[in-house]
Every structure is written in C-alpha cells, then in structure tokens.
Structure 1
Amino acid sequence: MNSILRVPSECWLSPAAAVRGSEIEGLGLFATRDIPAGEPVMRLGGQIIDDATLNALTPPYSSLCIGDGAHILIDPAHPVRYGNHSCDPNLWHQDATTVVARRAITKGEELTIDYATHTISQTGS
C-alpha cells in the first residue's frame, strides 16, 4: 500500500465482473452474476503521481484524481479501465478507491459509473 490515503499498489476487480463488447463505448464491464447493492466491485490502485508527472505522460494512460495535485496512475492493462460512464450509474465510489454497487445489479447488466463524481483522465485507447 502507498502511504497517501492508503492507496493499493494494484487494482482489483471482482470476479462478478467481466469485460465484453459494450453498446455504450467499445468494451465495458458486465455483471457475471447478480450483485447486491453495496457489494464492492472494484478497488482502484496504482502509483501515486503529481500534476507535473501526469502532464508529462504519453498516451494512453488512465488516472484518477484523489486530491489536490495527487493522482493514481492506473495500470492500462488492468480491466478496471473498461468501466463506462452513465449519468445514472449502477456503481459509485464508497471512498477514493473503492467502487461498490449503487443498487442491485442483475446478471448481464453493464457496470457503469458517473465520471463526474471523481475526476478520471483517460487518454488514448
């Protein structure tokens, strides 16, 4: 774990989620079974970087703003990066790094999050 906000060094994705083609955008995450409200679906983790380091990165990359001038650089190969946006999402942040089911989710449903609730930078594919 990193010391700032106890950020995990790696992302975690529940086995209740899998990547497949999405009608929203490219690939997405989908429920492989029913997921009850409040169940953790993913934990975001990675290297903590500052604004200058973020601005110097070459795409593609994914990052999550966790505070003033602090970002988690997320492994671009990790499947958590396939979470798509919705203005009426079925996932939300329980805290800075933990994403849980906002409501009961049925098997086969695409897992979505509102990008506006946390600053996420995704550049490239």
Structure 2
Amino acid sequence: MRYPLSILACATLASRGQSTSDHSSGAWIGDIKLCAASVKRVSRGFDEAQALPTMYVEFEQEVSKRLKQITVPLVGQQLEITINGRVIASPTLMEPLSEGAVEMLAPPEGAFVGIAAYPEIPC
C-alpha cells in the first residue's frame, strides 16, 4: 500500500519558520516528534517504479489522528523532516496523512539511521 506523502525530491531546504515546536533535538516529521510513544516502526524499502530507496514510518493511533488533523490545511505545501534542528527533507504533501503511516523517498543513509533510532528513545 502506498501512503500519501509523496516526495518528488528529497532535497534539504531552508526552514520556512512554520514550526511551533522546538526541533533542536530529536527527529521530527512536521510537529510530530519521532519517539517511542509516537512511532510503531520505521523501515527501509525500495520503490521499484522510481528505482529509489524509501522510508516507511508507522505511527501510534493517537499520533495518527493528530497527523491527519494537522496535515489537512498543509496539502500542497512542504512538510519538514528534521533531525536535531537540521532540516533533512521538505517533501510536498500531496494529500492529508490519514492512513497512520507514511512512505517517502528515503533520506541519505546517515539521516535514515538517525530517524530509525528515535522510535526506541523515550519522548
């Protein structure tokens, strides 16, 4: 199953100042902190059609509801993915995130390892 966060380019872009949370530590997708209480699992995959590596993030139920609420008004805009205050990607949101998971083009290997570690860390 494909999830609705489509990254056409996984390029690092400057922050647009939309965040209301302090993203100086930890991994974040928008204002959702990736930690043991928010993420069920993170895994790596491969998109055969685009011949590119992917990253899959499945969220806990309460976080999934919040993610849907906050992404409805963001359709067509960029959703920042940050690690320790550094934006690693700003994918364009193609539709609200309503499935409780996202699949996107994977960030560079080092960033993926960083993101994959956060679901094991308490919030």
Return the TM-score normalized by structure 2. Answer: 0.31
Higher helix share: 2
Per residue, is there more strand in 1 or in 2?
A: 1
Bigger relative contact order, structure 1 or 2 (CA pairs below 8 A, ≥6 apart): 2
